[in-house]
Every structure is written in C-alpha cells, then in structure tokens.
Amino acid sequence: MSTWQHKDLLGIRELSRADIDLIHETARGFRQVINRPIKKVPSLRGRTVINLFVEPSTRTRASFELAAKRLSADVVQLDGNSSSFTKGESLKDTGRNLEAMHADYIVLRHSAAGASHFLADRLGASIINAGDGAHEHPTQALLDTFTMRERLGDLTGKHVLIVGDILFSRVARSNIWALLKLGAKVTLVGPRTLLPERFTELGENVTVRHELDSVLPEADVIMLLRIQHERQKKAMFPSLGEYISLFGVTPQRFAECRPDTLIMHPGPINRGVELDNALADGANSVVLEQVTNGLAVRMAILYLLGGGNAQELQS
Ligand code: CP
C-alpha cells in the first residue's frame, strides 16, 4: 500500500489512483470503528481542527465535526455569518489568525473557486476543501466512489450517469475526476444550458447526452444532482415542470433501468424535482449509506493528513 504524501486535500484532480485507493482502504478501517459501541480512537489527540464554513452545509460540516471528535481532536466550528467575515476581514487574515491559535487543520467551504488553494499556499496548516464554488468537492467524490466500490467492487468499466445541473456542480467535477481515475465510464446528462459539450474534453470515457431515457438501461449507477440556483444568475431552462418531464427520475423512468441500478444523491435532495420521493427512500437508493460512509472517509482523510498509517490502523 502507498503512503500519503500531501499536506492538503484540495481536489481530486491532484490525486493519483494510489491516493484514492489509500483513502478508501483507510476508510474501510474506520467503517469498523464507527460501528463499535465505543466509536472513538485517540489518533488525533492534541490536534485542532477548525471548520470554516462560509457557505451553508448540513452533511459536510456535521460529518467533519464528528470525524474530528471520533479521532479525539479538538474542534472549532466557524460560520461565515457569525465570523468577522461580516466585518470585512479577508480570507487570508482569517486563516493566519486561526493558524496563530495553532490550528492543525482548516476545513474550508467557500463560494469562490480556488479559495482552498489560496489558503493552502499561505498557511502551514493542512487545508481541506469542503467545496469551493463550482470547482471541486473532493470529500464528496471520495465518499461517493467509496460507496460505489463497497456496493459494486472494482469500478473498471462500470457505467455511472450523472444527471442534472452539471455546469454549476462541484460534486460533478470531483466525481468525474475520481471515476475516470478508477476506470469507470461516465455519462453526463442534462439540458444544453447546464451541460456544455466541452465536458467531453475531460476524458475519452466521458460522454455528454441531452436526453435521459435512452441511457437509463445501461446504468450501473444514477447520480442525481439538484439545480444549483445559488450559483445561477439567470433562468437556465423554461420551467421546472419542463425540467422534471425531461430529466426528473420517476418510478416510470426508473422501470427502464436494470433492477440492481444504484440511485445516489449528494444531498440536499429536492424531492419531486430531480428525484421522485419514493425512489429517494426506496430499495435502490444508497443516499443515507453515502452519508454514513462520509464519516468514515472524512476520518480517513484527517488521519492520513495527520501522518496516520493505514497499516497500523488495520493491525
Ligand atoms: N453534499 C453536501 O455537500 O451537502 P451539504 O451542503 O449539506 O454539506
């Protein structure tokens, strides 16, 4: 097994296949830890994790807090609305002040693409990108591909559909990089305004389609994305009803899939828009499994960035 060589986790694009394998192998160990009656290990005792969330979050923020606590680190939560960002303090000054308190890790969610790279270049603390604009959301892709590997085994040749607002989605970009590195085929599906043809330039195993029905029978996994209204400056399609009629996954549409096709969603789900209510909670949905796996994957990332050794974890 390879060893971890990075100070930060900024994006999937910078990771090798071996890095992804190492994170997933380490997360497998932590899956066992989080199922024990006593869910805590002392690996990061004395370390400090600061969650700096300048954009809203439920899953990522809560699971990073829990992951740090399960590893016995001290954790501080900072929100954009209640921090001195509201008084005009810059990201650089904020980061330098947090580092002056001996923060070992800063987990950053920010609306600006590149915000995590900006801090990583200026601070000695490990920076973890918890989502930067429409650029990357690496821990989401790591937990998504971990969930697929747990369910499907080797992803080589597996066919993953990513459906919805691709243009504004950091989840889509990180998943495309991760899936290509793991040997999967990716078909992106959405309206032309939310899915430019240039996405095919990401790799020969990426296909762009603007209609859903004909590709459903080929899918091993369907990953639905919500429409990212917060990043859109104008209406990107005529009406929600039209979007649902063309791209919403309903029981009638899903009947065209193989019976074992997995349904995934990073959350939050807009029920009845990109995904029907019954399917979101149905037997093919692994949405909550993704959330549970997110805790193990984020423990693995904090552990490896802190110098932890995956082999020691298994012994
Ligand atoms: N998937 C995801 O990033 O969810 P949150 O915005 O709730 O963290």
pLDDT at position 312: 74
Ligand 1 closest atom vs CA 56? 6
Output the CA 57–ligand 1 centroid distance in Å. Answer: 5
Say how many C-beta atoms besides its own lie within 10 A of residue 6's C-beta: 14
Protein residue with its CA nearest to atom 3 in ligand 1: 60
Query: pLDDT tens-digit profile of 120-170?
Result: 999 999 999 999 999 999 999 999 999 999 999 999 999 999 999 999 999
pLDDT at position 315: 56
Structure tokens, 4: 């971890």
pLDDT at position 182: 98
Q: At CA 279, angle to CA 276 and CA 285, rounded to 5?
A: 135
pLDDT at position 227: 85
Residue with the larger pLDDT of the pair 231 and 214: 214
Q: How far apart are the first and last CA of the chain?
A: 14
Residue recorded with tokens 């954790």: 75
Going by pLDDT thresholds of 50, 70 and 90, the confidence category of residue 233 is low
pLDDT at position 314: 61
- Measured from CB, residues less than 6 Å from any atom of ligand 1 are 57-61, 131, 137, 140, 266-268
Output the CA 180–ligand 1 centroid distance in Å. Answer: 23
For range 28-37, the mean pLDDT: 95
Is it the case that residue 234 has pLDDT exceeding 90?
Answer: no
Output the CA 128–ligand 1 centroid distance in Å. Answer: 15
Is it the case that residue 31 has pLDDT exceeding 60?
Answer: yes
Is it the case that residue 310 has pLDDT exceeding 80?
Answer: no
pLDDT at position 309: 81
The pLDDT mean for the chain works out to: 95
> How many residues make up the chain in this entry?
315
Output the CA 15–ligand 1 centroid distance in Å. Answer: 21
Tell whether the torsion through CA atoms of 218, 223, 224 and 225 is positive or negative: negative
Residues sharing a CB contact under 8 Å with residue 73, sequence separation 6 or more, in sequence order = 44, 45, 47, 48, 49, 104, 105, 302
Radius of gyration of the chain (CA): 19
